[in-house]
Amino acid sequence: MTYQVTARRWRPQIFDEVIGQEHVVQTLKNAIEQNRLAQAYLFSGTRGVGKTTTARILAKSLNCAEGVSVSPCGKCDRCTEIIEGNSIDVMEIDGASNNSVDDIRELRENVKYAPAKSRFKIYIIDEVHMLSKSAFNALLKTLEEPPNHIKFIFATTEENKIPETVSSRCQCFEFCYISYKDIIFQLKKISGSDGITIGDESLAVIAKTAEGSMRDAESILDQVVSFAGKEIKRDDIASILGLVGFDNIATFMDKIFEKKPTPLLELFQELVFQGQDFRLFLKELMEYARNLIVLKVSKESKKLISLSSEEIDRLKGQAEKVFLDELHQIFKIISDVELEVKRSSYPVMLVEMALIRLTEIRPFQSIDNIIKSLSQIGKEIESNETDKASKIKEEAPRYENVNDNDSSGDMEKIWERIKIKTKEKRNHLGMFLDSSELVSITDNTVEISFSDRFTLALIQKDENKKILSTTVEEVLNKKIKLLLRETSGRNKKEEEKNEKKSKKQEQTGGIDKEIVQNALNIFGGEVIREE
C-alpha cells in the first residue's frame, strides 16, 4: 500500500473535523440548513489553515447523494469522487497555471451546461489572486449572475490582490491562524493514533515552528518521525529544524547582559561555521527576549511561555539582572536586524554589528529619578557654595573697627569687609556690591560708585540703603553719610576681573564643571569639544 503523508491521512472530511475555524464552519452549516447559499465564496488566509479542505467539504455537502446536508456521508460515489479529486461536476482549478483570459473564457462556456450527475457544478479555484486582470474582468458577469446550478469557491493567501469588483460579488470568509493549543491537541491525537511518543514541550516547538498552519505542523511531525523514529525527544526536533536551542540562546543572552562583545562574536561565528541558519537564530533570540519581557511584566508567565520549569527558572534568574527598558531595546534591535538581513548582501556582518550594539545598551532613567538626582545635585552645589562662602569668611583677614584717624587706611581691605558683612545680612545685596567700587572715605562721608543705573536704583531703595549704611558704620565704627553714584564706565579693575572670568568661561565652555560631571553621570554621556 502506498504511504500517505499525515496531512492527507488526517485531512478533515466533515465540518466538525475542521480545526480552529469555528466562525467559518458555523456560518456555512447555517447557510446549508437554511438554504441561504451564495453563488460565490471567497476563502482567504495563510497556508495550511483549511481553505481548500473546507471548500471540498462544502462541495460534498451540496452534492452528496443522500441529500444536501451539513454532514455528508463520504461513502457515496459523489462524495468519494470529490475526495479523490476526479469528480466531473466539482472542478479544482489552479489559478497559478490557469490564469489567462482564454482559460476563463473556456470556463464561461462550460458554465452553461448542467452538471452530469450532481445537483451543482462547483468550481474551486485555488490561488485565485494569480489570475490576470483581464481574466478577472472576463469572469465578472458570470460571477454576478451565474446559472442556478453553478457555485464558485475561490481560495487565496493574498486577499489584497483580489479586485474589489470580484470580492464584492462573493461571500468572504477570513481563515485565521490556528492556535498553538489546537495544533498541539491535534498532534497529540495523531501521535497517539500512530504510536508515536513525544512530549508536550516538543509538540509546542513544532506548533511554534508551524506558525498557525496545521498542514505545516503535520509535515514537520512526519519529518521528525522519519529522523528519530517513534521515540521523539526535543533535541531531535532541534536537529531536524536547525534550531540553535534554548541553552545556546541562554548563553548568548548571558554574554549580552555581561557586556562582553568579543565572546559574543565568537559564539556567533561558531554557529555560522556549523552551518546554522542565522536568520533562524535571530528569530529564536527575539523569542527569548520576548519571554524575558513577559516574565518581567506578568505574574501568570507560565501560561504565556511554553517552556519547562527548569528553563523558566533560568529565564527568571536572567530577568532579575536586567531592567525592563533594556529588554525592550534588545527586542527592538533584534527585530530591526531581522528585517534588514532579508535584503542585505552582507547579512552576517549586520548580525555581528547588531550583537555589538546589544552589549552597549544602558538602562533608561525614569523622569522621576532624573528630577530627584538633579534636585540632589542642586542641594550639593548649594551646600558647596555655602561652604565656600564660610571658608572665605574664615580666611578673610579680620580687621578691627577703624576710627576717624584710620579712615585713610587700606581701602581695599575695608571694602572687602563691608561686602562680607553685607552678604551676611542679605546675600543678594552683597552680590550687587561685587560690581561696585568704594571710591573714597572722608571724615563723615563714604562714597560708593556703581557701574549701571539698574543696580544703583536697587541699592537706593530705602531698606537696602539703610542696611548698607548701617554695615558701613559698623565697619568704620562711626556715623557716616553714604553717597551713591553711577560711574561713567567700568573701572579698570572690574574690567580686568570680567576679562579673566570670560577667559575661564571660554576654557570650560561657560558651564560649571561639577554640574556638568554630575549630569554626565546621570545620562551616561561625555563632553565633545569642537576645534
Neighbouring residues of 15: CB distance < 8 A, sequence distance ≥ 6: 25, 28, 29, 54, 57, 61, 70, 71
**Can you tell me which residue has the cell 548698607?**
468
Print pLDDT tens along the chain (531 aa).
577 888 899 999 999 999 999 999 999 999 999 999 999 999 999 999 999 999 999 999 999 999 899 999 989 999 999 998 889 999 999 988 888 889 889 898 888 889 988 999 999 999 999 999 999 999 998 898 889 999 999 999 999 999 999 999 999 999 999 988 899 999 999 999 989 998 888 888 888 888 889 999 999 999 999 888 888 888 888 888 878 888 888 888 888 888 888 988 888 888 888 777 778 888 889 988 988 888 888 776 667 776 777 788 888 888 888 888 888 899 999 988 888 887 888 888 888 898 898 888 877 666 666 677 777 777 777 676 666 656 555 554 443 444 444 444 478 888 888 888 888 887 777 777 777 888 888 778 888 888 777 777 777 788 888 888 888 888 888 888 888 888 754 444 555 555 555 555 555 444 455 555 666 555 556 556 544
Q: How far, in Å, CA of 220 to CA of 224, rounded?
A: 6
- The CA-atom distances, in angstroms, between 470 and each of 412, 483, 523 are 19, 13, 49
- Give the cell for residue 346: 552582507
CB count within 10 Å of CB 133 equals 9
Residues 6+ apart with CB under 8 A from 140: 165, 166, 169
How many C-alpha atoms does 36 have within 13 Å on its Cβ side?
8
461 grid coordinates: 531703595
Pairing of strands 171-175, 197-198: unpaired
Q: For the chain, state the CA radius of gyration.
A: 43
- Coil, helix or strand at residue 380: helix
Is 142 within 8 Å of 108 (Cβ atoms)? yes
Distance CA 95, CA 52 (A): 13
CA 481 – CA 83 distance, rounded (Å): 119
Distance CA 10, CA 239 (A): 26
C-alpha cell at 171: 461571500
The residue among 488, 489, 491, 504 whose CA lies nearest residue 415 is: 491
The Cα–Cα gap between 332 and 144 comes to 48
DSSP, collapsed to helix, strand or coil, labels residue 399 as coil
Which amino acid appears at position 368 of this protein? D
H and E: helices and strands count for the chain:
25, 10
Dihedral sign of CA atoms 254, 257, 259, 265 in order:
positive
DSSP 364: P
255-291 b/e (C-beta count within 10 Å ≥ 16 → b): bbbeeebeebbebbeebeeeebebeebbbbbbbbbbb
Q: What is the DSSP string of 271-307?
A: HHHTT--HHHHHHHHHHHHHHHHHHHH-S-HHHH--S
Do residues 91 and 124 lie in contact, with contact meaning Cβ atoms separated by under 8 Å?
yes
Instruction: State CA 401 to chain mean position distance.
Output: 73
Handedness of CA 375, 376, 381, 387 (dihedral sign): positive
Q: Are 63 and 122 in contact (CB under 8 A)?
A: yes
User: H or E segment at 485?
Assistant: strand 481-486
Instruction: Give the pLDDT confidence score for residue 99 in this predicted structure.
Output: 85
Residue type, 412: E
What are the structural domains, with CATH classification, of the chain?
6-175 (3.40.50.300), 180-241 (1.10.8.60), 246-359 (1.20.272.10), 396-489 (3.30.300.180)
- Angle formed at CA 296 by CA 295 and CA 299, multiple of 5 degrees: 60
User: Checking DSSP bridges between strand 121-126 and strand 150-156, what pairing results, if any?
Assistant: parallel
Strand-pair category, 197-198 with 231-232? parallel
Q: How many CA atoms lie within 13 A of 166 on its CB side?
A: 24
